[in-house]
Amino acid sequence: MMLALEMYRSPAKYLAAKAVRGRIPGMLTGPAAPLRLVTINEPKAERDGWARIRPILSGICGSDLGMVTGSTKLYFSAVVSLPFVPGHEIVGELLDDCEDLPRGTRVVMDSVLTCAARGVEPCDGCSSGNTNRCDRITVGHVAPGLQTGFCQDTGGGWGNLLVAHRSQLYAVPDGMSDERAVLVEPLAGAVHAALRANVQPGQSVLVSGAGAVGLFATLALRELTQAGRITVVAKHAKQRELARAFGASDVVAPDEVFRGVRRSTGAFRLKPEFGAPEFLLGGVDVAVDAVGSKDSIDTVLRVTKAGGRVVLSGMPAGGADLSPVWFRELEVTGTYASARQEPNGLPAFETALELAGRAPLDGIVGARYPLYRWREALDHAHSAGRLGTVKVAFDVRAS
């Protein structure tokens, strides 16, 4: 038996959560939370290539918060299996030998549950190395679930034990701290986003949002591309400071985006009549939305130059006006998780591990909570930007 946080099915609670969305403290302390701390059976690692992992640190991701607060799209309900233990940003220790990795190895995990993990013939996505595009995430010998952390059979990082497949695991180099290692999963996502953004040398980039996703995307863009000016939209003082440290050329407040981008790119700024939102003629070559809100997506679509590229890196909340996509012939592209084979020929995790080793990431994990303090932990993560924190993590061994 083990202690874990469990997300369980409750349509009524899902709706209640939606109703109070945005007011997370009220929701977490009330009875509406679809999350509970329970003692449950440990997941089993009986098949070849599977091993047990004891998490050390386990991060709280925006998608986890979305799930708890009910703002996540119902789109997802077909690709998860309730009840499940959330947590897909982990650094942990192998409790079993796992093929070439001996027990005791510290590992990080690519959470996508691909054909390889499910023991089925590789789909087109998997065989081409685009493992994040796997089409078989609901079949095979593992319960449905797009990722570890959304799957009933594997357990997740917010519990004392989970199981993972060798194809998901990467050994952490000696000397890299747990605090850095726990960032490798989100960094891999940022590596993927930066490479998918296909930024050409000297091109201007806007990153909307300076939470973990936006900050890491900024870092990856600066490190892996020859982007020219990178402008980051940041609300809070600490975010501004970090955005600059991670390679932003300019930082603008949300209400300064149009002014800032217009100035830095020499674009024209137009204000339609009847209160319709303004937009630019000209603008950045590439924009990355790292928020997912309607406002943020509306903004990036309106400040990208004709023929430019918009990368949706945060889960879109919907409701955005797509007329600029049509009128400006924008290329809109999504980025989800990360791939085994990125455009640079490497697994995103390898690049991310390398980045995690040298980037200025000290202090990025700004708070650690034991599992039984989950209400405070989620509340803190929800207000992280305002509180000057980038990443909140569960200290699973202290639980």
Partner 1 sequence: MSRPGFVLEVDDRTPPLLVHNGEGFLLERFPQGTRVVYPPEALPAVRDVDEAIQNALLNPIDSEPLPELLRAGMRLTIAFDDISLPLPPMKKPDIRQRVIEAVLELAAQAGVDDVELISANALHRRLTPNELREIVGERVFRSFFPDGKLYNFDAEDTANLTHLGLTRHGEDVEISKRAAESDLLVYVNVNLVAMDGGHKSTSIGLASYKSLKHHHNSHTMIHSRSFMDHKASKMHHSAWRMGEVLTQHVKVFQIETTLNNDIFGGPLEFLQKREWEWSIKDQASMLGTKRALAAAPAKLRHKIFTDVRSNYGLTGINAGAIEPVHEKTIEAVHRQHLVEVQGQSDVAIMGVPFVGPYNVNSVMNPILAACMGLGYYFNSYRGNPVVRKDGAVILYHPVDYEFSQLHHPSYVDFFEEVLAESTDPATIEAKFEKQYAEDPWYIHLYRTSYAYHGVHPFYMWYWISHALDHCGDIVWVGGNRRTVERMGFRSASTLQDALEMVSHSVGRSPSITYLHNPPHLLADVR
Residues that bind partner 1 (CB under 8 A): 256, 259-260, 262-263, 266-269
State yes or no: residue 134 binds Zn ion (CB under 5 A): yes
Closest Cα partner for 371 from 42, 82, 37, 90? Answer: 37
Q: Which residue lies nearer to partner 1 by CB, 192 or 328?
A: 328
Partner from Zn ion, partner 1, none contacting 161, C-beta within 5 to 8 A by type: none
State yes or no: residue 113 binds Zn ion (CB under 5 A): no
Partner from Zn ion, partner 1, none contacting 106, C-beta within 5 to 8 A by type: none
Closest separation between CB of residue 252 and partner 1, Å?
9
Q: Which residue lies nearer to partner 1 by CB, 19 or 281?
A: 281
State yes or no: residue 136 binds Zn ion (CB under 5 A): yes
Name 9's Cβ contacts closer than 8 Å, sequence gap at least 6.
Answer: 34, 82, 83
Closest separation between CB of residue 266 and partner 1, Å?
5
Closest separation between CB of residue 240 and Zn ion, Å?
24
| Bond preceding residue 83 cis, omega within 30 of 0 | yes
Q: Which residue lies nearer to partner 1 by CB, 281 or 322?
A: 281
State yes or no: residue 123 binds Zn ion (CB under 5 A): yes
Q: Which residue lies nearer to partner 1 by CB, 251 or 315?
A: 251
Contact 317, 293 (CB under 8 A): yes
Partner from partner 1, Zn ion, none contacting 136, C-beta within 5 to 8 A by type: Zn ion
Cα-Cα end-to-end distance for the chain: 14
Site for Zn ion in 49-68 (CB under 5 A): 61, 63
Closest separation between CB of residue 206 and Zn ion, Å?
22
- DSSP letters, 46-111, are -STTEEEEEEEEEE--HHHHHHHHT-S-GGGGGG--SSB----EEEEEESS-BTTBPTT-EEEE--
Nearest-angstrom CA–CA distance, 271 and 286: 22
